[in-house]
A and B are shown apart, each in its own frame.
Chain A
Protein backbone atom coordinates (compact mmCIF):
# COMPACT_ATOMS: atom_id res chain seq x y z
CA UNK A 1 0.00 0.00 0.00
CA UNK A 2 1.37 3.40 -0.85
CA UNK A 3 1.55 6.04 1.89
CA UNK A 4 -0.89 8.98 1.81
CA UNK A 5 0.18 11.97 -0.26
CA UNK A 6 2.41 14.33 1.69
CA UNK A 7 2.87 18.07 1.35
CA UNK A 8 6.61 17.40 1.44
CA UNK A 9 6.58 15.58 -1.90
CA UNK A 10 3.33 16.84 -3.32
CA UNK A 11 4.09 16.91 -7.00
CA UNK A 12 6.01 13.74 -7.64
CA UNK A 13 5.27 10.88 -9.98
CA UNK A 14 4.69 7.83 -7.80
CA UNK A 15 6.19 4.55 -8.95
CA UNK A 16 4.84 1.72 -6.82
CA UNK A 17 7.35 -0.79 -8.19
CA UNK A 18 10.44 1.39 -7.82
CA UNK A 19 13.31 -0.25 -5.96
CA UNK A 20 14.73 3.09 -4.77
CA UNK A 21 13.39 6.53 -3.87
CA UNK A 22 15.53 9.57 -4.57
CA UNK A 23 14.76 12.50 -2.25
CA UNK A 24 15.90 15.75 -3.87
CA UNK A 25 16.45 18.92 -1.84
CA UNK A 26 16.44 22.38 -3.46
CA UNK A 27 19.01 25.17 -3.42
CA UNK A 28 18.32 28.52 -1.72
CA UNK A 29 15.24 30.14 -3.22
CA UNK A 30 14.33 26.96 -5.10
CA UNK A 31 11.29 24.71 -4.97
CA UNK A 32 10.52 21.13 -5.97
CA UNK A 33 10.15 22.41 -9.52
CA UNK A 34 13.93 22.58 -10.03
CA UNK A 35 13.86 18.78 -10.29
CA UNK A 36 10.85 18.64 -12.60
CA UNK A 37 12.71 16.91 -15.46
CA UNK A 38 14.31 14.20 -13.38
CA UNK A 39 11.49 11.71 -13.06
CA UNK A 40 10.91 11.26 -16.76
CA UNK A 41 14.65 11.00 -17.49
CA UNK A 42 15.71 8.52 -14.80
CA UNK A 43 14.75 4.90 -15.18
CA UNK A 44 11.41 3.50 -14.10
CA UNK A 45 12.84 1.71 -11.07
CA UNK A 46 13.71 5.06 -9.43
CA UNK A 47 10.97 7.12 -7.78
CA UNK A 48 12.15 10.74 -7.83
CA UNK A 49 10.75 12.62 -4.82
CA UNK A 50 11.49 16.37 -5.07
CA UNK A 51 11.08 17.71 -1.55
CA UNK A 52 8.86 20.78 -1.12
CA UNK A 53 10.04 22.98 1.73
CA UNK A 54 7.57 25.21 3.58
CA UNK A 55 7.05 28.60 1.96
CA UNK A 56 7.27 27.63 -1.70
CA UNK A 57 5.00 26.47 -4.49
CA UNK A 58 2.06 24.53 -3.03
CA UNK A 59 3.31 25.51 0.41
CA UNK A 60 3.80 29.19 -0.43
CA UNK A 61 1.49 30.34 2.35
CA UNK A 62 3.37 28.43 5.05
CA UNK A 63 6.03 30.17 7.15
CA UNK A 64 9.63 29.91 5.97
CA UNK A 65 12.26 28.24 8.10
CA UNK A 66 15.53 30.00 8.86
CA UNK A 67 17.33 27.31 10.86
CA UNK A 68 18.45 23.84 9.80
CA UNK A 69 18.04 22.74 13.44
CA UNK A 70 14.24 23.05 13.13
CA UNK A 71 13.85 22.39 9.41
CA UNK A 72 15.73 19.08 9.25
CA UNK A 73 13.61 17.31 11.93
CA UNK A 74 10.50 18.63 10.14
CA UNK A 75 11.72 17.24 6.80
CA UNK A 76 12.41 13.96 8.56
CA UNK A 77 8.85 13.81 9.94
CA UNK A 78 7.53 14.54 6.48
CA UNK A 79 9.62 11.94 4.67
CA UNK A 80 9.58 9.15 7.22
CA UNK A 81 6.46 7.48 5.73
CA UNK A 82 8.37 7.29 2.42
CA UNK A 83 11.45 5.71 3.97
CA UNK A 84 9.80 2.29 3.96
CA UNK A 85 11.99 1.27 1.05
CA UNK A 86 15.63 1.97 0.15
CA UNK A 87 16.36 5.59 -0.68
CA UNK A 88 19.15 7.93 -1.67
CA UNK A 89 19.32 11.67 -0.98
CA UNK A 90 20.42 14.36 -3.43
CA UNK A 91 20.85 18.03 -2.56
CA UNK A 92 22.33 21.00 -4.33
CA UNK A 93 24.01 23.90 -2.51
CA UNK A 94 21.80 24.65 0.54
CA UNK A 95 20.05 21.40 -0.36
CA UNK A 96 23.36 19.52 0.02
CA UNK A 97 23.64 20.82 3.55
CA UNK A 98 20.07 19.73 4.26
CA UNK A 99 20.76 16.34 2.67
CA UNK A 100 23.80 15.83 4.89
CA UNK A 101 21.92 16.82 8.04
CA UNK A 102 18.98 14.64 7.02
CA UNK A 103 21.30 11.64 6.77
CA UNK A 104 22.54 12.44 10.27
CA UNK A 105 18.95 12.77 11.46
CA UNK A 106 18.23 9.24 10.16
CA UNK A 107 21.03 7.97 12.35
CA UNK A 108 19.78 9.92 15.38
CA UNK A 109 16.32 8.45 15.00
CA UNK A 110 17.70 4.99 14.26
CA UNK A 111 15.73 4.60 11.07
CA UNK A 112 16.91 3.26 7.71
CA UNK A 113 20.05 4.99 6.47
CA UNK A 114 20.24 6.39 2.94
CA UNK A 115 21.89 4.03 0.46
CA UNK A 116 23.87 6.95 -0.93
CA UNK A 117 24.22 10.68 -0.29
CA UNK A 118 24.72 13.03 -3.24
CA UNK A 119 26.00 16.45 -2.22
CA UNK A 120 26.20 18.89 -5.09
CA UNK A 121 27.55 22.43 -5.38
CA UNK A 122 28.43 22.76 -1.71
CA UNK A 123 31.69 22.81 0.18
CA UNK A 124 31.99 20.27 2.98
CA UNK A 125 29.84 21.29 5.95
CA UNK A 126 32.68 21.82 8.42
CA UNK A 127 34.08 24.56 6.18
CA UNK A 128 32.58 27.92 6.99
CA UNK A 129 30.26 28.80 4.07
CA UNK A 130 30.96 32.51 3.75
CA UNK A 131 34.63 32.70 4.72
CA UNK A 132 35.78 33.45 1.21
CA UNK A 133 33.13 35.83 0.02
CA UNK A 134 31.48 37.52 3.00
CA UNK A 135 27.88 37.61 4.13
CA UNK A 136 24.88 38.58 2.00
CA UNK A 137 22.51 39.17 4.87
CA UNK A 138 22.99 42.94 5.18
CA UNK A 139 22.38 43.63 1.48
CA UNK A 140 19.29 45.42 0.19
CA UNK A 141 17.26 43.82 -2.60
CA UNK A 142 19.32 45.19 -5.49
CA UNK A 143 22.55 44.41 -3.68
CA UNK A 144 21.41 40.86 -2.99
CA UNK A 145 20.47 40.26 -6.61
CA UNK A 146 23.83 41.63 -7.80
CA UNK A 147 25.78 39.60 -5.27
CA UNK A 148 23.89 36.40 -6.09
CA UNK A 149 24.44 36.94 -9.80
CA UNK A 150 28.16 37.39 -9.26
CA UNK A 151 28.68 34.45 -6.94
CA UNK A 152 26.10 32.13 -8.46
CA UNK A 153 25.66 33.23 -12.09
CA UNK A 154 22.44 32.09 -13.73
CA UNK A 155 20.49 31.56 -10.53
CA UNK A 156 17.80 34.07 -11.39
CA UNK A 157 15.67 33.43 -14.43
CA UNK A 158 15.75 36.58 -16.61
CA UNK A 159 11.95 36.72 -16.49
CA UNK A 160 12.07 36.96 -12.69
CA UNK A 161 14.58 39.81 -12.77
CA UNK A 162 12.38 41.61 -15.28
CA UNK A 163 9.24 41.23 -13.16
CA UNK A 164 9.21 43.23 -9.92
CA UNK A 165 6.20 41.36 -8.63
CA UNK A 166 7.71 37.91 -9.14
CA UNK A 167 10.96 39.14 -7.63
CA UNK A 168 9.10 40.40 -4.56
CA UNK A 169 7.80 36.87 -4.01
CA UNK A 170 11.13 35.16 -4.63
CA UNK A 171 13.42 37.39 -2.56
CA UNK A 172 11.90 36.71 0.88
CA UNK A 173 12.30 32.97 0.23
CA UNK A 174 15.89 33.50 -0.84
CA UNK A 175 16.63 35.69 2.20
CA UNK A 176 15.23 33.16 4.65
CA UNK A 177 17.30 30.45 2.97
CA UNK A 178 20.44 32.59 3.10
CA UNK A 179 19.89 33.18 6.84
CA UNK A 180 19.71 29.40 7.21
CA UNK A 181 22.74 28.86 4.96
CA UNK A 182 24.99 31.41 6.62
CA UNK A 183 23.79 30.64 10.14
CA UNK A 184 24.41 26.90 9.85
CA UNK A 185 26.36 25.57 12.81
CA UNK A 186 28.36 22.46 12.11
CA UNK A 187 28.55 19.97 14.95
CA UNK A 188 31.21 17.29 15.07
CA UNK A 189 29.75 13.77 14.83
CA UNK A 190 31.08 10.41 13.71
CA UNK A 191 31.30 9.96 9.95
CA UNK A 192 28.16 8.60 8.30
CA UNK A 193 28.12 4.93 7.34
CA UNK A 194 26.88 6.05 3.96
CA UNK A 195 28.80 6.40 0.67
CA UNK A 196 28.97 10.05 -0.33
CA UNK A 197 29.23 11.41 -3.85
CA UNK A 198 30.31 15.06 -4.06
CA UNK A 199 29.45 16.83 -7.30
CA UNK A 200 30.55 20.21 -8.56
CA UNK A 201 30.73 22.54 -11.52
CA UNK A 202 34.28 22.78 -12.86
CA UNK A 203 34.02 26.59 -13.00
CA UNK A 204 32.00 27.17 -9.85
CA UNK A 205 33.94 29.91 -8.01
CA UNK A 206 31.67 29.59 -4.96
CA UNK A 207 32.43 25.89 -4.61
CA UNK A 208 36.01 25.16 -5.68
CA UNK A 209 36.40 21.59 -6.85
CA UNK A 210 39.35 21.23 -4.45
CA UNK A 211 36.98 21.83 -1.52
CA UNK A 212 34.75 18.90 -2.52
CA UNK A 213 37.51 16.55 -1.38
CA UNK A 214 36.84 17.71 2.19
CA UNK A 215 33.58 15.74 2.22
CA UNK A 216 35.74 12.62 2.66
CA UNK A 217 35.88 12.89 6.45
CA UNK A 218 32.07 12.64 6.60
CA UNK A 219 31.80 9.11 5.24
CA UNK A 220 33.20 5.93 6.78
CA UNK A 221 32.45 4.21 3.48
CA UNK A 222 33.61 5.98 0.39
CA UNK A 223 33.75 9.37 -1.28
CA UNK A 224 33.35 9.73 -5.01
CA UNK A 225 34.00 13.03 -6.73
CA UNK A 226 32.37 14.05 -9.96
CA UNK A 227 32.66 17.34 -11.79
CA UNK A 228 30.61 18.70 -14.66
CA UNK A 229 31.14 21.57 -17.05
CA UNK A 230 29.73 24.84 -15.87
CA UNK A 231 29.34 27.15 -12.91
CA UNK A 232 27.29 26.77 -9.75
CA UNK A 233 24.14 26.01 -11.72
CA UNK A 234 25.61 23.16 -13.76
CA UNK A 235 22.64 21.36 -12.20
CA UNK A 236 20.56 23.11 -14.85
CA UNK A 237 23.01 24.06 -17.58
CA UNK A 238 24.46 20.55 -17.67
CA UNK A 239 21.30 18.70 -16.72
CA UNK A 240 21.36 16.13 -19.51
CA UNK A 241 24.92 15.00 -18.75
CA UNK A 242 24.25 15.01 -15.01
CA UNK A 243 21.16 12.83 -15.36
CA UNK A 244 22.88 10.47 -17.74
CA UNK A 245 25.66 9.99 -15.22
CA UNK A 246 23.25 9.75 -12.29
CA UNK A 247 21.15 7.10 -14.03
CA UNK A 248 24.25 4.92 -14.28
CA UNK A 249 25.41 5.66 -10.75
CA UNK A 250 22.01 4.79 -9.29
CA UNK A 251 22.19 1.35 -10.87
CA UNK A 252 24.87 0.43 -8.36
CA UNK A 253 23.06 2.09 -5.46
Chain B
Protein backbone atom coordinates (compact mmCIF):
# COMPACT_ATOMS: atom_id res chain seq x y z
CA UNK B 1 0.00 0.00 0.00
CA UNK B 2 1.53 3.32 -0.94
CA UNK B 3 1.77 6.14 1.53
CA UNK B 4 -1.08 8.17 0.10
CA UNK B 5 -3.38 5.22 0.31
CA UNK B 6 -2.42 4.64 3.95
CA UNK B 7 -3.14 8.28 4.75
CA UNK B 8 -6.42 8.16 2.86
CA UNK B 9 -7.46 5.08 4.84
CA UNK B 10 -6.52 6.70 8.13
CA UNK B 11 -8.56 9.80 7.31
CA UNK B 12 -11.49 7.76 6.02
CA UNK B 13 -11.62 5.78 9.27
CA UNK B 14 -11.82 9.04 11.24
CA UNK B 15 -14.36 11.00 9.24
CA UNK B 16 -17.28 12.55 11.01
CA UNK B 17 -19.45 12.75 7.96
CA UNK B 18 -19.03 9.57 6.08
CA UNK B 19 -21.34 8.69 3.30
CA UNK B 20 -20.65 5.80 1.00
CA UNK B 21 -20.25 8.20 -1.86
CA UNK B 22 -18.26 10.80 0.04
CA UNK B 23 -15.03 11.13 -1.85
CA UNK B 24 -12.19 13.41 -1.09
CA UNK B 25 -9.38 13.85 -3.54
CA UNK B 26 -5.72 13.89 -2.58
CA UNK B 27 -5.66 17.66 -2.90
CA UNK B 28 -8.94 18.46 -1.13
CA UNK B 29 -8.65 20.47 2.08
CA UNK B 30 -9.90 18.05 4.72
CA UNK B 31 -10.38 20.78 7.32
CA UNK B 32 -12.22 23.30 5.18
CA UNK B 33 -14.50 20.55 3.94
CA UNK B 34 -15.54 19.94 7.56
CA UNK B 35 -14.88 16.22 7.33
CA UNK B 36 -13.19 15.86 10.69
CA UNK B 37 -13.89 16.31 14.40
CA UNK B 38 -11.97 18.19 17.05
CA UNK B 39 -9.87 15.21 18.08
CA UNK B 40 -8.81 14.52 14.54
CA UNK B 41 -5.92 16.96 14.66
CA UNK B 42 -4.35 15.14 17.60
CA UNK B 43 -4.97 11.75 16.09
CA UNK B 44 -3.48 12.80 12.78
CA UNK B 45 -0.27 14.06 14.38
CA UNK B 46 -0.05 10.89 16.52
CA UNK B 47 -0.59 8.78 13.42
CA UNK B 48 2.12 10.55 11.45
CA UNK B 49 4.59 10.30 14.34
CA UNK B 50 3.92 6.66 15.15
CA UNK B 51 3.46 5.14 11.74
CA UNK B 52 6.40 6.96 10.28
CA UNK B 53 8.69 7.17 13.30
CA UNK B 54 9.22 10.86 13.13
CA UNK B 55 8.75 13.80 15.42
CA UNK B 56 6.39 16.63 14.48
CA UNK B 57 8.03 19.80 15.78
CA UNK B 58 6.35 23.09 16.57
CA UNK B 59 7.52 24.60 13.29
CA UNK B 60 6.04 21.64 11.40
CA UNK B 61 2.58 22.35 12.76
CA UNK B 62 1.30 24.34 9.83
CA UNK B 63 -2.03 23.65 8.21
CA UNK B 64 -0.23 23.55 4.89
CA UNK B 65 1.53 20.34 6.04
CA UNK B 66 -1.63 18.56 7.20
CA UNK B 67 -4.63 19.81 5.26
CA UNK B 68 -4.71 17.26 2.44
CA UNK B 69 -3.62 13.73 1.65
CA UNK B 70 -1.06 15.05 -0.82
CA UNK B 71 0.39 17.56 1.63
CA UNK B 72 0.64 15.02 4.45
CA UNK B 73 2.47 12.62 2.13
CA UNK B 74 4.83 15.39 1.02
CA UNK B 75 5.47 16.38 4.62
CA UNK B 76 6.31 12.81 5.65
CA UNK B 77 8.64 12.39 2.69
CA UNK B 78 10.39 15.65 3.50
CA UNK B 79 10.85 14.73 7.16
CA UNK B 80 12.20 11.31 6.27
CA UNK B 81 14.63 12.81 3.82
CA UNK B 82 15.76 14.80 6.86
A residues whose Cβ falls under 8 Å from a Cβ of B: 10-11, 13, 30-31, 33-34, 36-37, 40, 57-62, 157, 159-160, 165-166, 169-170
Contact = CB atoms under 8 A, between A and B. Distances in A.
Contact of B43 (A10, A59, A62, A166): A166
Chain B residues touching A, majority SS: loop
A61 B58 contact: yes
Nearest to A62: B58
B41 interface: yes
B42 A37 contact: no
Contact of A165 (B46, B56, B57): B46
Interface of B: 31-32, 34, 36-43, 45-46, 56-58, 61-63, 66
B39 A40 contact: no
A59 B41 contact: no
A2 to B, nearest CB: 16
Nearest to B42: A169
A159 B41 CA distance: 14
Nearest to B66: A58
Given A30-B38, A31-B41, A33-B36, 5 more contacts: A31-B38, A36-B31, A57-B42, A60-B61, A157-B37
B81 to A, nearest CB: 22
A36 B57 CA distance: 24
12 contacts: A10-B62, A11-B63, A33-B40, A33-B41, A57-B42, A58-B62, A60-B42, A61-B56, A61-B58, A61-B61, A62-B58, A157-B37
B37 A33 contact: yes
Contacts of B37: 33, 157
A237 to B, nearest CB: 15
B42 A157 contact: no
Given A60-B61, A61-B57, A165-B46, A159 B39 contact: yes
Nearest to A159: B39
Nearest to B40: A33
Contact of A58 (B38, B57, B63): B63
A34 B62 contact: no
A11 B31 contact: yes
Contacts of B36: 33, 36
Given A37-B34, A165-B46, A58 B61 contact: yes
A13 B57 CA distance: 25
B63 A160 contact: no
A33 B38 contact: yes
Contact of A57 (B34, B41, B56): B41
